[in-house]
Amino acid sequence: MQLTTEEGNSPLHVAVHDTGSTNMNDLFLQLTMIRLFLSHNFSIETVNKQGQSVLDVARLNSHSQVYSLIESKLPLSSRSRRTSIDYTQFP
């Protein structure tokens, strides 16, 4: 059984998308669902038809806690090397 959408998104791709909610309970449930998928060895390296990994989707469409959770599952050598925040990119 293949668990992907027509766009090639895995359940983890779908789970990391921003829910649009500002309710902390919704964020808690989203993080819980992501942890469940990760505990069952869903791959964060799966790439959808747009060539986006789960981390790419999280970076573009998620709460910072969701992105951090996904990033924490990468090998240290693959993690972004953020040493400071460039505040000039924000209006």
pLDDT in tens, 39-59: 998 988 889 999 999 999 988
Task: For residues 71 and 12, give the distance between their C-alpha atoms in angstroms, rounded to a whole number.
Answer: 13
* Region of 36 on the Ramachandran plot (φ > 0 left; ψ -120 to 50 alpha; else beta): alpha
Task: For residues 66 and 61, give the distance between their C-alpha atoms in angstroms, rounded to a whole number.
Answer: 9
Task: Find out whether 16 and 7 touch, Cβ atoms under 8 Å.
Answer: no
Task: Output the average pLDDT for the chain.
Answer: 82
SS3 assignment, position 54: helix
Q: What is the pLDDT of residues 15-29, one digit of tens each?
A: 998 888 888 899 899
